[in-house]
Structure 1
């Protein structure tokens, strides 16, 4: 936690060193960067940050928007990652959107997928995934595998042992980030959101 405060203090020193100005006098890009780097509280809890961040959010919806840059901090534009990493034992998967012809073009990495053998421990599988209504509410999709010898029969009866479990990928609470160089030039990542 201390290193975050030091990084923000270092950023403020970089941004305002030449003139000795106050934070209010900083460029809009530096105001946004300082506010985005605020961690405890986040920018929503810092009265000074509300106007520049609301201005940013409004500007983002206009055509031709360019992210305001704080050149003194050498941080550039932010990045964005909507989803968390998938839990251990799963991999990133996709959900189809649109018709099958468009599937490869219109998919998002919004699922976590794992393959399990439901025959190894039927009782455990049944307790975890046996309630179709609970699966639907939780966004769990179960795809049954089948072997090539009896594919139609096995698929129809859902009697294969190998199944693919697909769950919604967790979304990040703070999905935007700046990589801000500290006083040693090492970039530190500061996550933030743009919710008002």
Structure 2
């Protein structure tokens, strides 16, 4: 590598090293704002005007190539988890609509019912499997935040505007 190229490369690397802590601190600050706003429950972040800028910035950034969720290391949390579906009602089990094709989503609630007339017992040919769509969560994202006493609190939120 010739001297001018080496010098320019060194300058670029020095500048990158110089600005990285500031960028990391800024990203951490944004991540903590997102965590604080996402954890707001009454009202949700949409009802807190100060939360609009960091959350709208997040929603916009999510659609861009190379998106990385802003984190808040000071709070001990990483990126949130996502769970699209509510639990099935009591007495129902989780089912998969596309199970025959090698997988699928856990998007059904199923229940096996005995359809035999009274007194005929539980014969196998009297069983019917009933399904219904599994309810979607209104707030599908969540953070688990550990309190000072070690307890974990789950904070659910949505990214709908």
TM-score bracket, normalised by the shorter chain, equals: 0.7 to 0.9
Structure-1 separation of matches of 2:57 and 2:77: 20
**TM-score of the superposed pair, with normalisation by structure 1:** 0.62
Residue from 69, 72, 91 that aligns with 2:71: 69
- The alignment of Structure 1 onto Structure 2 pairs a total of residues equal to 130
Match of 1:186 in 2: 151
Match of 1:116 in 2: 113
Match of 2:102 in 1: 104
Q: Secondary structure at the match of 1:190?
A: strand
**TM-score of the superposed pair, with normalisation by structure 2:** 0.75
The answer for unaligned runs of 5 or more in structure 2 is: 1-27
Rg comparison, structure with higher value: 2
Structure-2 separation of matches of 1:33 and 1:120: 55
Shift of 1:181: 1.6
Structure-2 separation of matches of 1:77 and 1:120: 53
Structure-1 separation of matches of 2:143 and 2:69: 12
What do residues 23-75 of structure 1 show as CA deviations (whole Å, max 9, x unaligned)?
A: xxx81001000000101000000000011101101111111110000111111
The answer for unaligned runs of 5 or more in structure 1 is: 1-25, 122-145, 148-159
What do residues 87-110 of structure 1 show as CA deviations (whole Å, max 9, x unaligned)?
A: 11111101128xx5xx114x1000
Match of 1:45 in 2: 47
Matches within 5 A, 1:21-170: 27-96=29-98, 103-105=101-103, 107-120=104-117, 161-170=126-135
Shift of 1:161: 2.5
Runs of 4+ in 1 over 4 A off after TM superposition: none
Structure-1 separation of matches of 2:35 and 2:117: 52
Between 1 and 2, higher relative CO (CA 8 Å, sep ≥ 6) is seen in: 1
Structure-2 separation of matches of 1:49 and 1:55: 10
